[in-house]
Chain A
C-alpha cells in the first residue's frame, strides 16, 4: 500500500516536471495545442475509466456529456454574455443532472444492454446539437466562444492554456486516485467483480453506479468546457458516436482500472493520427493495425503491459 502510494507520488512529480519542461521548451503553437488536446482527452478517458475500468459499466454515449459541457458554456457565454467561470459550474451541473436523469433507468441495464442504452442516448444528444439550430447553431456549428481570462492572465495563448489544462488533469488524477483508494473505490471495484456479492456485503450497488456515472459525466463536461474555450468553435461532429467510441478505445488501450492508463491511452490515440499523416491514404490501416497489435500483445492495455515488461526485465538478471 505504502509502496503503491509512493509510486503514485513519484508519478505525479514526474508528470509535473514533464509538463513544466514541455511548457518551457515547446514553443510551436501546433505542438502545444496537440499536447493540450492530450490533456482534454485524458480527462475524458479518466472519467470513463472510473465508470468502465473500476465499476465495470460500459457507456457508448460519453461524447454526449462532452458535448453538453461544450455547448452549455458556448450558449451561456455567447448568448447570455455570462463569464466563463460561471458557465463552468453550470456546464458541469447540467451534465451531472442529465446523467442522473438518464442514469436512473439506464443503469438498471447491464452488459450489452447498457451499451445499447447509452449508445441511444449519445445519438439523441448528437441529433439535438445538429437540429436545434436556433440554440446550438445546428450543423454549421457555434462560433465566437470567448477565450478564458483570469484577472490579468489571459489563457488565449497556447502556452497558458496548456498549463491550465494540465493543472486540471493533474488535480483530476489525484482526485480519482483518492476516490479509488477510499471506501467508495472498493465498492466500485466490488461491483465490477460481482454485483451479487457486492450487494451481499451491503454495497448499495444501484446508488453507487449512479454516482460514478454522474461523476464521469462531470469529468466529460469539464473536458467539453476546456475544449470549447480552446478552439472557440464547436460543431456537432465533434460529439458524435465515433467520439464516444474513441473515448472507450482510449480507456481500453490505456488499461482499464488504472488512472495512468487514461493518460497513456489518451496520449497514444491523440498522437497516432498526427504521426500517421505521412502514410496518407493508408493512415487508417496503420492506425487500426497499431491498435490491434496493442490489444494482441498487451491485452491488459498499455499500463499493465508496460509494467509486466518492466517486471520481467528486472527479474532477468537473476537467472
Chain B
C-alpha cells in the first residue's frame, strides 16, 4: 500500500534520514521503533507532505507523493495523528472532529462526514459525552482519542500515528493500542511510530528499527521481540526513557 524507496530527508543541510526503504502492506499494523532523533517522525512528516525537502520515492497505492502538499495527501487517504496530539484546545471536541473532515466538507461530502462522525463516536463514546467541551479540558488519554478520531474523520485508508503513547499512563496506552488493533480488523492500515517498543511490537505485524536515520533491523514483530539487540536497546534497562518528552 505504502512503499518507500531510498528515502533521504533533510532539515536545511542536515540529513535526518539516509536511504530508508520500507513497505506497508494493506490491513497491517507496521511499527517504526527507535530512540529520540532516529528519524521516525521525520519519515512521517515526509509521507504526509509536511516536510518537502526529501529525495527518493514514496508511493501510496502506486501514486508518487513527491511534491504533494498535505491537503492533497489527506485527500488521497492518508491521515496523520501528530506527535503530542496537537488538538485545537479552545475549540470544542465537535469542532475538532469536524476539522478532521475538512477535506470532505470541501468536496461537499457532508453526508460522508456525518457517517464517519457517528462511527468515531461509537469507537470513542467519551467524545460524544464531551462533544461541546473545549478540547483543552480533556485528559491526556481523551485528547489522544480525539486526535485519532480527528484523523479518522478524513476517511483515511492509511493511518499514521506518531507516538500515541506519549505521556500517557500504561492502562490508557493499552486502551489506545487495543483501539488500533480494532481499527486494523476493520480494514485500516496503520503505520505506528513508537518509543514504547514493547507495546508497539505487541500489536504490530511487522517492525522496523531505526537508528540515526537508517533502518538497522526489520522483520516480523515476533522475531524482533526475541532479537538480542532489540531486547537490550529497547526492552531492557532503557525502558525509563520511553516516557521522556522530546520537546
User: Which residues of A are interface residues toward B (Cβ below 8 A)?
Assistant: 1, 183, 186-187, 189-190, 193-194, 196-204
Contact of A202 among B86, B88, B154 (CB under 8 A): B154
Contact of A194 among B74, B79, B86, B132 (CB under 8 A): B86
Cβ of B89 under 8 Å from chain A: yes
Q: With A190-B99, A194-B86 known to touch, is A202 a contact of B75 (CB < 8 Å)?
A: yes
**Chain B 92-108 interface residues, beta-carbon cutoff 8 Å to A:** 95, 98-100, 102-103, 105-106
By a CB distance below 8 angstroms, the chain A residues around B82 are 196-197, 200
Contact of A183 among B74, B90, B106 (CB under 8 A): B106
By a CB distance below 8 angstroms, the chain A residues around B238 are none
Cβ of B151 under 8 Å from chain A: yes
Q: With A186-B98, A186-B99, A196-B82 known to touch, is A204 a contact of B87 (CB < 8 Å)?
A: no
Contact between A196 and B86 (Cβ–Cβ < 8 Å)?
Answer: yes
Cβ of B46 under 8 Å from chain A: no
User: Which residues of B are interface residues toward A (Cβ below 8 A)?
Assistant: 48, 50, 69-71, 73-75, 79-80, 82, 86-91, 95, 98-100, 102-103, 105-106, 132, 150-151, 154
Contact between B48 and A193 (Cβ–Cβ < 8 Å)?
Answer: no
Contact between B87 and A197 (Cβ–Cβ < 8 Å)?
Answer: yes
Contact between A201 and B48 (Cβ–Cβ < 8 Å)?
Answer: no
Query: What would 13 A/B residue contacts be, using CB atoms closer than 8 Å?
Result: A183-B98, A183-B102, A183-B105, A186-B95, A187-B99, A187-B102, A197-B86, A198-B99, A199-B70, A199-B71, A200-B48, A200-B70, A202-B154
Given contacts A202-B70, A204-B70, 19 further A-B contacts (CB under 8 A): A1-B132, A183-B98, A183-B106, A187-B99, A190-B88, A190-B102, A194-B88, A197-B87, A197-B88, A198-B88, A198-B99, A200-B48, A200-B80, A201-B99, A201-B100, A201-B151, A202-B75, A203-B102, A204-B69
By a CB distance below 8 angstroms, the chain B residues around A197 are 82, 86-88
Q: Which residue of B lies closest to A193 (CB)?
A: B88
Q: Which residue of B lies closest to A206 (CB)?
A: B69
Contact of A203 among B71, B89, B151 (CB under 8 A): B71
By a CB distance below 8 angstroms, the chain A residues around B70 are 199-200, 202, 204
